[in-house]
Structures are given as structure tokens and as C-alpha cells.
Amino acid sequence: MNAILLQSSSSQGIVLPLVVLAFSILLFFAIRGVFLWYWKVDIILKNQEETNRLLRGIARHLESRSDSTTRLDNET
């Protein structure tokens, strides 16, 4: 009889931390979503990606102008 009681209490000892862990993970993601929404992180990230895309275009344009200027200098 004692073995059965000990066995059931040890399984409860495992279940409670797992439930607490699962609840903590869910709470973390819920709070994270609220913070990301409040601070508009997704919009800021999208703006940074757009800025990077524009800067890459400017860099390519400047490189092509530099290459054409170098070719003209070599021809003269």
C-alpha cells in the first residue's frame, strides 16, 4: 500500500513542475507578444529592412559610376 501511495505522489511531483513550466512558457509568449506590439518592433524591423534595401541600391549605383569613371580615366 505504501508503494502505491509513494508512486502516485512521485508522479504528482513530476506533473506539477511540468504544468508550471508549460504555464510559464505560455505566459512568456503572451507577454512577449504584447511588448512587441506595444513597442512596434515589427514596424521598426520592416523599416530597417527597407532602409538596408535602399542603401544596397545606392551602393550598387555608386559602384557602377565608379567603375565607369575608372574606365574613362584608363582610356585617356
- Would you list the DSSP string of 10-71? HHHHHHHHHHHHHHHHHHHHHHHHHHHHHTTHHHHHHHHHHHHHHHHHHHHHHHHHHHHHHH
Based on the domain organization, do 30 and 62 belong to the same domain?
A: no
Based on the domain organization, do 68 and 50 belong to the same domain?
A: yes
Based on the domain organization, do 74 and 45 belong to the same domain?
A: yes
3 burial level (CB within 10 Å; 0-12, 13-18, 19+): exposed
Based on the domain organization, do 14 and 34 belong to the same domain?
A: yes
Query: How many domains are contained in the chain?
Result: 2
pLDDT at position 5: 45
Based on the domain organization, do 33 and 46 belong to the same domain?
A: no
Domain assignment of residue 73, given as a range: 40-76
Based on the domain organization, do 44 and 32 belong to the same domain?
A: no
Q: What is the pLDDT along the chain (76 residues), one digit of tens a residue?
A: 445 544 555 666 899 999 999 999 999 999 999 999 999 999 999 999 999 999 999 999 999 998 877 776 676 5
Based on the domain organization, do 3 and 29 belong to the same domain?
A: yes
pTM score: 0.56
